[in-house]
Amino acid sequence: MGTLTVLPAQGVFLTIDDTRPYNELYMFPAYMSGTIQFEDGTAFTGQLNILLASSTLCFLDEEGQPDLFTDKSQISAVLIGRNFFIPLLGHYIQILETDGNVMFGVEQYLELEAEKRYGAFGREEKSPNVPIEKRNLRSEGYNVDTGGRKLAVESTPYTVHQNAYLIRNKKAYALNRKNFRRFFPAKKATIEQYEAENNLNYSDPDQSLMLFKFLTACRQGLKPRPK
């Protein structure tokens, strides 16, 4: 299934080597021991990884060959190494921190794209008078989950998406002051003090994660020092 080339980074996201073709990009640099927890209460333990091109769970079969598990609706949670994921928003969201009620999660995935000139009824045009449009390749009939139509691996363009959320009751919420206050209503004064002392930018996932950890530690009765 290709060379594993995703590299670890200091922040909440992994650094993705976007010079490589889409089918070589995985969440982790190697398959790792993990467990898939299914909605029916059963579980599968094996060597796991996540293919970023489709946010698809991968596992090694009994012969050590890579295979795909594409039906996210059957999965409740995934543990790969010490990394915990839940399926949400059509992707696997990595949970970085939780207080038992609210979770802080991040997603990383690739969106395969095609840049063409589209005319009437979606037909490709050659005329330079027709503007170039960018479309998600899934709408063109390609499906990286199941193979679908073949793609030109070396030349297929893609966009790397990285997002972070507050998560509660299987719903994802944007990182902003309103939602932090909503989920930590007893810590309004603490949030205001943290903002004043740390010049907080909620849109920065690293900074929001530090606030989340601070509030979680406060809720547990600890006395952390914000950095």
Q: For the residues 178-190, what does the mean pLDDT come to?
A: 95
Q: For the residues 155-168, what does the mean pLDDT come to?
A: 87
Q: Give 179 or 217, the one with higher predicted confidence.
A: 179
Asked if residues 160 and 110 have their Cβ atoms less than 8 Å apart, the reply is yes
pLDDT band, residue 5 (cuts 50/70/90): very low
Q: Which residues pair with 43 in a beta bridge?
A: 37
Q: Is a pLDDT exceeding 90 seen at residue 202?
A: yes
What integer pLDDT is reported at residue 11 of this predicted model?
Answer: 80
Q: Report the predicted TM-score, pTM, of the whole model to 2 decimal places.
A: 0.77
Q: Is a pLDDT exceeding 50 seen at residue 148?
A: no
* Alpha-carbon distance values, 9 to 50, 195, 204 (Å): 17, 26, 15
Summarised one tens digit per residue, pLDDT across range 34-62 is 999 999 999 999 999 998 887 889 999 98
Q: Is a pLDDT exceeding 80 seen at residue 147?
A: no
DSSP reduced 3-state for 42: coil
What integer pLDDT is reported at residue 21 of this predicted model?
Answer: 82
The percentage of residues in the chain with a pLDDT greater than 90, rounded to a whole number, is: 50
Nearest to 38 by CA among 61, 83, 81, 69: 69
Summarised one tens digit per residue, pLDDT across range 72-87 is 999 999 999 999 999 9
Longest CA span, the chain: 67
